[in-house]
Structure 1
Amino acid sequence: MPGRTVVGVYRFLLTPRWWGINVFTLLAIPFCLFMGSWQLSRFQDRVQEDRTQTRQIATNAHESPKPLDSLLPVDKGTSGKRTTVSGHYGKQLLVPGRQLDDKDGYYVLTLLRTDTGKALPVVRGWLPGTADASKAPAAPAGEVTVTGVLQASETPGDNGVSAQGGLPAGQTAAISSASLVNLVPYRLYDAWITLDQADAGMRTVPATAPADSGLDLRAFQNLGYTGEWFVFAGFVVFMWFRLLRREVETARDAALGIEPAEQPVVTVS
């Protein structure tokens, strides 16, 4: 049986069962590699985006502020830009549960009513401790011109923004037109700013990167998925060789007339 070593032993590869196994393997491996490469490219894009944002922040800090209307609507390109707005301060709210330098505190948010008939939420500064309206400095009276960094409306659940409800009157969990529309009697811009320099007695709130950008949790999820897909590809190859080896051994034993060992039967008395 000299010819049986190659032809006979591997004849099982032509059976319908092994055709299915081979087709699945040939499709699964490139699919896993493609998905892993795609997830890796997403992570690399976010790394490049983070570098671009870092350079952009440095550039924005030295740019002259631009009129608000020229920067709207807020997107990844305009978020972080400096803007200047004139108007009269109106209703004031507190935004609890905000940290600065790992210390708990709250933002002092005041609505700036502009000549356009809309109001712009302005974060005038940060104070430590539990939100307390009696400790928040009153906004300047009369017409003011403020300069700050433009930010997109927050979405509860993103960037650590709280989604809690049932806050006391005069407080809001998120700085967004959707959250504020029922709290203030003004039409609102779908944006807000944090002042370049906080008002007296408060600390300046730094600008944040736009949601779903840069090296955030989702970026590292992309990196984790990259590893998973490549592991899946390796697992498919491993299982194919394992099945092949077992089938070859079974075929050779059958060719030599060796019966497969029977599994012992366990009886319960």
Structure 2
Amino acid sequence: MSATTRHAEPTTFLRAATRPRMLALLAVLLLAAVVCARLGMWQLDRAEIRGGADEAQAQAEREARAPQDIGDVFAPQTSFTGELVGQQVVARGSYEPDGQLLVVERAIGEEVGYLVLTPLRVTDTLPSTPGDDAGEAAPVLPVVRGWVADPDDAAALAVPTGEVTVTGYLQASEGPGLGGQPAGRVDAISSAELLGSWAGPIWTGYVVLADAEPADAAHSAGLELVPTPTRSGSGMNIQNLAYAAQWWIFGGFALFVWIRLVRDEAAGDGPAPVEPVDPAEPVGEPGAVTQQTGASAAP
């Protein structure tokens, strides 16, 4: 008689997991998971490198474009879209010194200081802009004229008077700040909050100053220009991020397979070998064999 098989007896998950063959399988699958994790990290590094290069190229292209009149780009009190970040614009109007604010806790490099935020009352917007024919105040544009390390330095810097032409880069308005700042200071460049301080329609973004005509004397007196804004979260390449996620999923699946196999092993679903039966050995109890033989021999 040939060898037969039977199902293994059910046991606990821990006992099934510590069987030699399951431990050997665990070692193999853990090695595969580690390889997948390393490949995922490699793809993550590639995503950062390629994303940074792509963003640098896009930023260079934005800076190379000729600046456009801000009224031609988007109107006050309309939605600011992500592709506008870093767009060069030109605006003409007059600064309002009484409305100037300092934005606290803003860093350039490793030094923390203050942004000098000045309202520019724009006078050359499109004819359809509110304020042109309804007796309302002209629209106001928040302009970050620069950065100072000491707030006393900002107080000593004169605000240009008369009509000015400013060229700069657009950046999206921030969310509302936490508040609690002294008079003349804010912790966020929020158009919604600035609207309460500055009369008239307001843009839902602000301009980071790059140049002015006539030149702003404050820059020669210590006001430092702010670096060109970049889009948040644009430093990662999406394709490489997807590859990284795939490798991590593969690594997790390897561990899932081992857990599933251990559960099947513990449930007794796996076959277990049975020793061969000796053909010369009676099957069943001797008494049953004798009675069956006797019954067969009866006439």
Distance 1:51 1:2, change over 3 A: farther
Distance 1:134 1:125, change over 3 A: closer
Contact map agreement 2:67 2:90 (CA 8 A) in 1: yes
Cα drift, residue 227 of structure 1: 6.2
Matched ranges for 1:185-196 at <5 A:
185-196=199-210
Between 242-251 and 53-62, report the one with greater CA deviation. Answer: 242-251
1:164 — aligned with what?
178
Distance 1:165 1:231, change over 3 A: farther
Contact map agreement 2:172 2:205 (CA 8 A) in 1: yes
Are 1:119 and 2:125 counterparts? Answer: no
1:146 — aligned with what?
166
Structure 2 CA distance for aligned equivalents of residues 149 and 204 of structure 1? 12
Structure 2 CA distance for aligned equivalents of residues 84 and 102 of structure 1? 30
SS in structure 2 opposite 1:77?
Answer: helix
Cα drift, residue 104 of structure 1: 1.0
Unaligned runs of 5+ in 1: 13-35, 157-162, 257-269
Distance 1:57 1:134, change over 3 A: closer
Structure 2 CA distance for aligned equivalents of residues 69 and 143 of structure 1? 17
Are 1:100 and 2:108 counterparts? Answer: yes
1:67 — aligned with what?
69
Matched ranges for 1:250-269 at <5 A:
252=272
Query: What TM-score, normalized to structure 2?
Result: 0.60
Between 43-52 and 63-72, report the one with greater CA deviation. Answer: 43-52
Structure 1 CA distance for aligned equivalents of residues 241 and 60 of structure 2? 28
SS in structure 1 opposite 2:7?
Answer: coil
Report the residue type matching 1:164 in the other structure.
Answer: L
Matched ranges for 1:7-86 at <5 A:
8-9=6-7, 50-72=52-74, 74-86=80-92
Query: What TM-score, normalized to structure 1?
Result: 0.66
1:25 — aligned with what?
none
SS in structure 2 opposite 1:54?
Answer: helix
Structure 1 CA distance for aligned equivalents of residues 104 and 163 of structure 2? 27
Structure 2 CA distance for aligned equivalents of residues 176 and 186 of structure 1? 15
SS in structure 2 opposite 1:202?
Answer: coil
Structure 2 CA distance for aligned equivalents of residues 243 and 195 of structure 1? 65
Report the residue type matching 1:192 in the other structure.
Answer: Y
Report the residue type matching 1:100 in the other structure.
Answer: I
Contact map agreement 2:145 2:208 (CA 8 A) in 1: yes
Q: Deviations over 1:25-73 (max 9, x none)?
A: xxxxxxxxxxx9xxx9999888765433211211222222111122225
SS in structure 1 opposite 2:193?
Answer: helix
Are 1:109 and 2:124 counterparts? Answer: no
Cα drift, residue 232 of structure 1: 2.9
Distance 1:94 1:105, change over 3 A: same
SS in structure 1 opposite 2:192?
Answer: helix
SS in structure 1 opposite 2:227?
Answer: coil
Cα drift, residue 173 of structure 1: 1.3
1:89 — aligned with what?
95
Q: Larger Rg: 1 or 2?
A: 2
Structure 2 CA distance for aligned equivalents of residues 182 and 100 of structure 1? 28
SS in structure 1 opposite 2:83?
Answer: coil
Structure 2 CA distance for aligned equivalents of residues 226 and 181 of structure 1? 47
Report the residue type matching 1:56 in the other structure.
Answer: A
Structure 2 CA distance for aligned equivalents of residues 227 and 155 of structure 1? 36
Contact map agreement 1:151 1:207 (CA 8 A) in 2: no
SS in structure 1 opposite 2:82?
Answer: coil
Tell which has more relative contact order, 1 or 2 (C-alpha 8 A, sep 6+).
Answer: 2
* Aligned residues between the structures: 219
Distance 1:239 1:134, change over 3 A: closer
Contact map agreement 2:89 2:170 (CA 8 A) in 1: yes
Unaligned runs of 5+ in 2: 11-36, 126-137, 276-299
Cα drift, residue 113 of structure 1: 0.5
Contact map agreement 2:168 2:207 (CA 8 A) in 1: yes
Cα drift, residue 179 of structure 1: 2.7
